[in-house]
Amino acid sequence: MMQMQDQRKEAMDVAIVGMACRLPLSESVNEYWKQLSEGRSCLAPFPQARWADTKELLAKDAKREDCVGGYLREIDKFDAGFFKISPREAQVMDPCQRLFLEVAWEAVEDAGLTQQLTGTRTGVFVGQDTSALRYVNVIDTSDPLLATGANTSIAASRIAYLLNLTGPSLVLDSACSSSLVALHTAYRSLVDQQCESAIVGGISVTLTPEQNEMLNSPEGKVRFFDRRADGTVWGEGICAIVIKPLDKALKDRDQIYAVIKGSAINNDGSSNGLTAPNPVAQTEVIEKAWKASRINPETISYIEAHGTGTKLGDPVELKGLNVAFRRFTDKRNFCGIGSVKTNIGHTKGVSGLASVVKVALALKHQMLPPTLHFQEASPMVKLIQSPMYIVDRLTPWEPAHFPRRCGVSSFGFSGTNCHMVFEEAPSLEKRVIPESESGSSVFVLSAYSEKGLMQYIKKYLLFLEKNESSLGDICFTANTGRQHYNHRMALLAKDLDELKSLLILINGIGLEAASRTNQQIHYGHFNLVFNKKALSVNDLTEDMKKSLSGTVDHWLEMMESQETQESMLTELCRLYISGADVRWEVLYLKQGYRKTSLPTYPFESKRHWLQLRRYGEKESAGTDKSQDSFYRINWMEAPVEASGNLTPEESVLLIHDGNPTAASLLQSIPGVLDITLGKQFQRLEAERYMVDLSEDSFKRLISSVKGSGPYKIILSVFMETTVASLNDIHCFEDKSIQSLLNLIKSLVHNNVSSNIDLVLLTKSSHEVTGTEPYIIPEYALLVGLGRVIHQELPHISCRCVDYDELTSLQQLTSEIMHHSESYLTAYREGRRYVEIIEAEKSNPVQARGHWIHEFGVYLITGGFGGIGFCLAQAIAALRPVHLILLGRQQFPAQSEDAEWLDKHNAILEMKRNGSTVDYFSADVSDEEQVAAVLQEARSRYGRISGVFHAAGISGTNMIYHKSYADISGVLQAKVDGTWILDKLTAKDELDFMVLFSSIASFAGGLGMADYAAANAYMDAYAMKRSKTGRKTVSVNLATWKHVGMSVRHGVNKDTLFHALEKEGGISLILQSLNHTGARIIAARVNYNDALFLHADDPAKLGIRLSEDIVSAIERVRMNQDGVPSAPVPIESVTLMGRNEIHYSETEITVSSLWGKVLDIYEIDVDMNFYELGGDSRLAIDLLKELELRFPGVINISDIFTYPTVSLLSEYIEQQLEAASNKRPEPNKAEQRGLTAALDNEGLRALIGSVKAGAVSVENGLQILKQHRKEN
């Protein structure tokens, strides 16, 4: 036999210490093992309850309800309250996220580490096959919370956020091998010391029964390596495991299911076909894993195969294994082999971890479960002469002179292969544990509700029926390895039989009765409240909790120093159920107890499910199918309004770079503070300051000038009329965008809550009359970004004044001093104009493809993205052309998922029809890279005929959470890319250039300030380029329903305009070339959008609407009887938390707004906003609702300072009283509210708010000082 040499320099044995799963017919690891060990098939027709939810997604002739598969029983339920997620957010979360949260939590509980992992460098690695139809893409809602609910990467980040884990957090997709690749990545991260432990997950959930005629087994059975194998059966599931270094697990007395010895991954490369398996690559990855594991392959006694039951795949896999083994041994039939897919189907992205959980359980129980449906081996491999045999019955895993070892293979449709080697847990010396001096052990259990605690007790009764753990191990794990909630039970038991008897008693008569009947049973519950006026019986303040916990510490010290008495344990139980934090680990310092697997938390799951879109569903009521699909933003002359006057208390700040316009304004506006952009922060004179561009400098400025308000702030910066290089644009972005961003962040940071009139001065940023001598598109960046400011921060009224050379100082001063109802006002040749949206009147006669010529050369940036690629297909369908597709990613040699395969086939189809398709990897914002692409394209096909600039990325987060680097990253593709493409194609004399802009350029949107700015630049640049006689169109597109980044981010919904269908949207883009003008809106108005309810109030919409549009909106508003529809009322909310019934009118109003924002209808008036599932995003929504009811009273930081309904209501009442010139009562709400949020969740929120700038450092310190003073 050949001897293997260890070539690995770094290696580590890693222990699996916790596991959990939801798999077909298995809600837990124990149920999973029962199904496997008993040789049961978990394949069945699609669950009827789920069919009722999802059948509308399919065509009526799609009879899939009988489609056999490995399905989860339900995917619609979730315990949102346990994870402090509001019902509103829960219902727009992808079920994958919801289910993984619960399963990951169960795995951490199973490891006994829910307290120990908090704040550690623990990583989260999730494998997820993302090719299935997703819930977030078929629900009818435009809730902005979809941005996180739909985002695949959030699946890993949510558990990291929940436990405050600081290690790597990522989601991997390599198709079928995703979860095993995630485990490999986590293992390597531990070896490389990038994290100290890891949670590894696998996710595969489908909305509808899956069918694939090429791969499905007609009989609905997976026959691994059987002569009768005829295909696979699809399944779904969620798995999670917790891993840590073996030596650390032994030291921490963790339970150990199995040990990871080593792993390897590779890719098929070029093989017989794109998706065909490569036996050479499979052999190689297995050998690499063996070498990495430092083991002799002869000691491998079982292989859990990928084993999908296909005629080709299984024999190829066995051939690869056979070759690998034969390089190291000549032995026959010493290694068992099987596949769990015969039990649960092919669970795609989770299949690797489903196999790992199987072998870990097999190692623990020392039994090999049977592979089902095997009768006769496939003749394609001579099994009898190989090292392997099929494990077709439950078989004892006999010991040898070496540890039991096995391997797990997972081979992805993407060509990515992974193999890992596992070993049984090390044998531990038999423990000699001294009997407790008192003769009793303390066992504690807790939940969020009495109902939950009773369910927990039932789970323990079932567990104890088959338990093999000692009482000491159970108590050690339950007490130290679980979180402790407000409904608590503590028992004193001498042995397992007594523990079981006590639980049976409680299950029979209830917790309250049992605790009164038996002195060994202690039960209590409490409500943690913050400075509540009148305490109820079960209320517990933070001070009281600290006092109880201090008493516990005293008792624990006594118990360490002297003999423990039964009375001491009884007092410990009493303190615990009263709400004390008990350091249970102190009880076990001198004991040798080990963690063991115990029942996990009984989630109180509720249905969170939105109506799904019907198959082929038509647009909603109010849609006029005959309406225009093209609109324009035109300009209408508006009278010059009378000049406003400054109120005596109003402060005016002019922030500028020393340009002539600013210099003139300093002379015309009385009492203005002169703020010059310079090299550092400095107070030059009483009313003159200098600031640099840093956030800190602006914070110091606002802190220095902060008064009672209100404020008028003017920003004026200079830009040349011509741009010589990208550096000119970047310099302007630095002083304009960066200064505006840091101004906003400093206003939020310093809690400036009074009304602010923010005026952005721009010069010739848009074409208004057509007679402008030049356009400066860089100013449009400010116009676009500014549109979002008021949407995110209602107390800041932001507007733009765009002037030309002929605008007088008097006109400009007058416009600044009065408050315009329109967001953008333009002055041209002494006349005043405002924007108006109108339907496009022209009817072009050219056909859709008029501008596309046979064998023309067309460059599409973002060409391999969803929209760009669809456009390429549409162009190639018109006539043979040369397509140059440009994208940032390397062109993949192998498929990542089925979508890539579709594109590969589409390219072949385009080529068959006479077109050429060339893909180049280049960053459109890199001038050298783009120049190289264009040079190569010209050398192949001649001059470039036309450009479609579709590249771009969207922004995230509210403006005060963005960094300048974040914004710059969004601007690059659209701003730098547009300028570069125009410059480098100048010699081509393009037939046209089409810029893919967005309705965000004029409509804004929460979190989209940078995206709006980038698209506004495109619009203005098209105007500038068109003035030189070159055909340029910037197309303001609505979001896309089924393609592009709107789908990835879950924002593919109707908004101000209806979302675009793929074919229709592409058609509109091509038709846009037939219209005159440089800018056009290609979408249909959605008259049902809430924003149009303010159509008669331009100040709300920010832009005027034509009479035709307003009339259409009014028609939709009217019901069938011709009476305007009544506004939808806020659902009534039940208030709780006081013994007395009375609640103030303010409390009733505020609670109704909380209910609306959080989607909850029972609210304790003393419950923290964040405990109910609130966060910074929902706080903004709440602020908007409060602003409508109590204008000017509340700012964003008040929601943190007064985080309960009672505190916020009291503060509002005091502010209203003060505003009515009555003598206000002392601000008791603030005195109590400053410390109200400082529980664990609130403290984390406070720190996050300070980091984000939502709460100033000074106010944060004040809150902490007040908290210390009062406690």
pLDDT tens by residue, 418-476? 999 999 999 887 665 555 445 899 999 999 999 999 999 999 999 999 888 999 999 99
Which string of b and e fits 1070-1094 if b means at least 16 CB within 10 Å? bbbbbbebbbbbbbbbbbbbeebee
C-alpha 234/C-alpha 68 separation (Å) is 8
C-alpha 1268/C-alpha 1262 separation (Å) is 10
Using 50, 70 and 90 to split pLDDT, how confident is the model at 625?
very low
> Which of 72-81, 1108-1117, 1138-1147 has the lowest average pLDDT?
1108-1117
pLDDT tens digits along 869-878: 999 999 999 9
Average pLDDT over residues 1156-1174: 85
> Which architecture, in CATH terms, is 857-1086?
3-Layer(aba) Sandwich (3.40)
pLDDT tens digits along 1044-1095: 665 555 555 666 787 787 778 888 899 889 888 999 998 888 776 655 554 4
End-to-end CA gap in the chain: 73
What pLDDT does residue 581 have?
A: 95
pLDDT tens digits along 175-186: 899 999 999 999
C-alpha 530/C-alpha 539 separation (Å) is 9
Average pLDDT over residues 1216-1238: 54
- Cβ neighbourhood burial of 5 (10 Å; 0-12, 13-18, 19+): exposed
Comparing CA positions, the residue from 785, 819, 825 lying closest to residue 650 is 819
Give the residue range(s) of CATH 1.10.1200.10 domains in the chain.
1134-1270
- Cβ neighbourhood burial of 389 (10 Å; 0-12, 13-18, 19+): middle
Is residue 206 a contact partner of residue 72, using CB atoms and an 8 Å limit? no
What pLDDT does residue 1007 have?
A: 82
What pLDDT does residue 993 have?
A: 97
Using 50, 70 and 90 to split pLDDT, how confident is the model at 210?
confident
Average pLDDT over residues 1210-1222: 80
Using 50, 70 and 90 to split pLDDT, how confident is the model at 641?
low
What pLDDT does residue 1123 have?
A: 40
What is the CA 761 to chain-centroid distance, rounded? 36
**What pairing do the DSSP bridges indicate for beta strands 521-525 and 487-493?**
antiparallel
> Which of 94-108, 1113-1127, 1194-1208 has the lowest average pLDDT?
1113-1127
What pLDDT does residue 1234 have?
A: 43
What pLDDT does residue 1218 have?
A: 81
Checking if the pLDDT of 1226 tops 60, the result is no
Provide the β-strand partners of residue 169.
124
Tokens of 221: 């059975």
Is residue 1031 a contact partner of residue 1075, using CB atoms and an 8 Å limit? no
Checking if the pLDDT of 1254 tops 60, the result is no
Average pLDDT over residues 619-623: 36
The DSSP element (H or E) to which 417 belongs, if any, is strand 416-424
Average pLDDT over residues 121-135: 88
For residue 960, the tally of other CB atoms under 10 A from its CB is 22
DSSP string, 550-576: HHHHHHHHHHHHSPPPHHHHHHHHHHH
Cα distances from 1021 to residues 781, 929, 965, 971, 1030, in angstroms, run 11, 22, 23, 14, 12
Comparing CA positions, the residue from 539, 538, 547 lying closest to residue 580 is 547
Cα distances from 155 to residues 85, 125, 289, 1061, 1174, in angstroms, run 14, 10, 28, 28, 19
SS3 279: helix
Domain boundaries 14-424, corresponding CATH code: 3.40.47.10
Cα distances from 1059 to residues 149, 250, 306, 991, 1044, in angstroms, run 19, 56, 41, 29, 12
Tokens of 856: 């023309």
DSSP string, 287-309: HHHHHHHT--GGG--EEE-----
C-alpha 177/C-alpha 418 separation (Å) is 7
- Is the pTM here over 0.75, yes or no? no
Using 50, 70 and 90 to split pLDDT, how confident is the model at 900?
low
What pLDDT does residue 1225 have?
A: 46
- Cβ neighbourhood burial of 58 (10 Å; 0-12, 13-18, 19+): middle
The phi, psi pair for 67, rounded to 5°, reads: -65, 120
Rg (the chain; Cα; Å)? 34
Strands (E), 136-257: 169-172, 197-204, 237-245
Give the residue range(s) of CATH 3.40.50.11460 domains in the chain.
635-836
Tokens of 334: 């010493």
C-alpha 376/C-alpha 378 separation (Å) is 7
Is residue 22 a contact partner of residue 99, using CB atoms and an 8 Å limit? yes
Average pLDDT over residues 898-927: 86
SS3 691: strand
Torsion of CA 142, 148, 150, 154, to 10 degrees: 180
C-alpha 901/C-alpha 214 separation (Å) is 15
Domain boundaries 1134-1270, corresponding CATH code: 1.10.1200.10
Is residue 177 a contact partner of residue 133, using CB atoms and an 8 Å limit? no
Average pLDDT over residues 788-794: 86
Is residue 1077 a contact partner of residue 632, using CB atoms and an 8 Å limit? yes
Comparing CA positions, the residue from 326, 331, 340, 467 lying closest to residue 400 is 331
The DSSP element (H or E) to which 509 belongs, if any, is helix 496-509
pLDDT tens digits along 407-416: 999 998 778 9
Give the residue range(s) of CATH 3.30.70.3290 domains in the chain.
441-593
Q: Give the chain's mean pLDDT.
A: 85
Task: Report the greatest alpha carbon distance in the chain.
Answer: 99
What pLDDT does residue 820 have?
A: 79
Evaluate the omega torsion of the peptide bond into residue 710 and state whether it is cis, within 30 degrees of 0.
yes
Checking if the pLDDT of 844 tops 60, the result is yes
Question: Of all residues in the chain, what percent carry a pLDDT higher than 90?
Answer: 57
C-alpha 1156/C-alpha 1182 separation (Å) is 9
Checking if the pLDDT of 4 tops 80, the result is no
Cα distances from 662 to residues 668, 740, 892, in angstroms, run 10, 16, 53
Give the residue range(s) of CATH 3.40.47.10 domains in the chain.
14-424
What pLDDT does residue 1233 have?
A: 47
Does residue 911 or residue 214 have the better pLDDT? 911
pLDDT tens digits along 976-1034: 999 999 999 999 999 999 999 998 999 888 788 999 999 999 999 999 999 999 999 99
Determine the topology of domain 635-836 in CATH: Rossmann fold (3.40.50)
Query: Class for domain 441-593, per CATH?
Result: alpha beta
C-alpha 348/C-alpha 72 separation (Å) is 14
Residue type for position 826? A
> Which of 466-470, 554-558, 955-959 has the lowest average pLDDT?
955-959
pLDDT tens digits along 342-398: 999 999 999 999 999 999 999 999 999 999 999 999 888 889 999 999 999 999 999
**What pairing do the DSSP bridges indicate for beta strands 824-828 and 831-839?**
antiparallel
Checking if the pLDDT of 1100 tops 80, the result is no
Using 50, 70 and 90 to split pLDDT, how confident is the model at 1124?
very low
What pLDDT does residue 620 have?
A: 39
Does residue 76 or residue 268 have the better pLDDT? 76
Does residue 460 or residue 48 have the better pLDDT? 460
Average pLDDT over residues 1181-1203: 81
Using the 8-state DSSP alphabet, how is residue 137 labeled? G
Does residue 1142 or residue 682 have the better pLDDT? 682
